[in-house]
Amino acid sequence: MSNFWSGYIIVLTLTTLGLILWLLFATRKGQRSEQTEETLGHAFDGIEEYDNPLPRWWFILFMATFIFSAIYLVLFPGLGKWPGVLGWTQVNQYEREVERAEAQFAPIFARYANLSVEEVARDPEAVRIGQRLFAVNCSVCHGSDARGAFGFPNLTDNDWIWGGSPEQIHTTIAQGRQAAMPAWLAVIGEDGVRNVAGYVRHLSGLETENVNLDAGKQVFQSTCVACHGPEGKGNPMLGAPDLTNDTWLYGSSMLQVQHTIRYGRNGNMPAQAHLGEDKIHMLTAYVYSLSLED
């Protein structure tokens, strides 16, 4: 915040408080007992407003709020750049809360730190802890049931884009993943897009009419095998999905598959290293446990 805007806020705030204080005293007419029959000179639906002072309790309440606001502005930020006597900020408040939470829950995570992912995944209490971590950090994309959505993989089956071993899952969570399905329209043209889309659907057992599968296979062999392999079974090292298992991240309709081939896809799994190794270990075990249920 610049000095100008800081000064502007300070002047505006103090001026407003000063005007409120002046208004309270300027309109106060003595004690509560001083009643009058004098009106303010206007009426609405036959109702006239008497020119009587505020009740004493009401005036005291106004003054109490004024005093509270003054004390607040001295102790906490509120006057431009003034940090307040207490030096409070939302950042250090958050950091203190995190420190308290870490101190409280660190011993719980530490109990499982030296166990393997497979062992943790079979511990009911550990799975419940992992489920809560998942709900806070992962459910916004993968859903509360971890079954994913359009563009977000289902974590409860055994179809893995980047691999489903404990080590691979840990790497995915800790370091994130960046998918890169390139756009092929400029290379293979509309006919190539349509034919290879039909061929890819054919690999998963889906029927497609008015498509030259032989031409689609030729396009696939010349442009797609580098990532998806000659049989279309994918490559976890590259994040290239298996195209033969009828599991579709962006939809299996002819239009959706063509869109993927024509324009490409760029999925992003953000790295969660900020959670710390102990929490990532618990999350890894939880995600791993989901595939064990099938």
Q: Is the pLDDT of residue 264 over 50?
A: yes
Annotated binding residues, written as ranges, equal 138, 141-142, 181, 224, 227-228, 269
Q: Is the pLDDT of residue 197 over 80?
A: yes
pLDDT value of position 121: 95
pLDDT value of position 32: 45
- The per-residue b/e assignment along 195-227, b for 16 or more CB within 10 angstroms, e otherwise, is bbbbbbbbbbeeebeebeeebbbebbeebbeeb
Specify the pTM: 0.71
Strand-pairing partners, residue 149, are: 152
Q: What's the pLDDT tens digit per position in 75-99?
A: 999 888 888 999 899 999 999 998 9
Annotated binding residues for heme c, written as ranges, equal 138, 141-142, 181, 224, 227-228, 269
Q: What's the pLDDT tens digit per position in 62-72?
A: 999 999 999 99
Counting every residue written for the chain, the total comes to: 294
